[in-house]
Amino acid sequence: MLHTVSDTLPTYADVVDLTRYPIHRLDSDEGRALINNCRCVLAQDGCCTLPGFLQPIAVAEMVQLANRLERSAWVSNNRHNVYFEAFDNSVEPHHPLAHQERSAKHGIAYDQIPDQAPLRRLYESDDLTRFIAAVLEKSVLFRSADPLDALQITRFHPGEELGWHFDRSEFSVTVMYQRAEEGGDFEYVPELRTKQDERHDDVTKVLQGDRSRITVQSAAPGTLAFFQGNCAMHRVTLVKGSLPRINSVLTYGEHENMRLNDLTSQLFYGRTSPASAEL
């Protein structure tokens, strides 16, 4: 999974600060140090953030693009449980399977993002895929095959939020473009559940207001972050003020041809992709 040194700059050289984050030279001393540092932070905190990963001009271009595509974004306002599964009315109302969370946002799908957009060029590069795989210690990693969800832009307008939830995928990768004037913080609880134990009682405590294990992050524009979203429950708090929160989610996995299931696709994009299958 390591990349050999090239004499030519990659096509995304104007997007990433390659001096600070040499993702195109992972087999160099600097590249190995970057990987090791990210692994240590991720193991310790359950989330690793890389401030200034994106060049300021790339951030500005993505904000302009998000503003330009605002009218074509899918506006959603839905109730869901933390698992994005059907509500279970057979359990107690406070049980996580029955507990209702709210998610409201403006979603811009992958097929709406131009080929030459800075983040699309970066996402479609093998260098970034190799870097994420190396940090996560994956022997192989694939970009999503979903034409809607592989790379998306999310705008959280005032009054919108992303409710508490676990991701269906093992981990998540995000890029921040613009912080909200107020609110819009990323909150997460690392290792709240495991693959062997759902720990419903611990989940319930957080849903009922226990903040003892919550970590709060308000990433600056240009920050790339990855975290273990399948075991860490997380949310984006209510956005206030006049400035929307704008970010992207980049989707990867260990299997080819990954796509959202129809239920989740309809929830976030208002439509389904051809030949969709459960992620």
Residue of higher predicted confidence among 63 and 170: 63
**Mean pLDDT value across the chain:** 92
Domains delineated in the chain: 29-269 (2.60.120.620)
Residue 28 banded pLDDT, cuts 50, 70, 90: very high
Classified as helix, coil or strand, 145 is coil
Q: Return the pLDDT at 275.
A: 56
Q: What amino acid occupies position 174?
A: T
Residue 111 is given by DSSP the state G
103-130: average pLDDT: 97
The answer on pLDDT for 164 being more than 50 is: yes
The answer on pLDDT for 115 being more than 60 is: yes
Phi, psi dihedral angles at 129 (to 5 degrees): -60, -45
Placement of tokens 């109730």 in the chain = 79
The answer on pLDDT for 174 being more than 70 is: yes
Q: Return the pLDDT at 170.
A: 84
- Please provide the size of the chain in residues: 279
Residue 3 banded pLDDT, cuts 50, 70, 90: very low
Q: Return the pLDDT at 5.
A: 42
Q: Return the pLDDT at 6.
A: 46
Residue 1 banded pLDDT, cuts 50, 70, 90: very low
Token digits for 112? 């709406």
In the chain, % of residues over pLDDT 90: 82
Per the DSSP assignment, residues forming a β-bridge with 179 are none
109-133: average pLDDT: 98
Q: Return the pLDDT at 77.
A: 95
Q: Return the pLDDT at 266.
A: 84
Q: Return the pLDDT at 267.
A: 77
pTM of the model: 0.92
The answer on pLDDT for 258 being more than 90 is: no
Residue 83: burial class (beta carbons within 10 Å; 0-12, 13-18, 19+): middle
Distance CA 211, CA 140 (A): 36
Q: What amino acid occupies position 205?
A: K
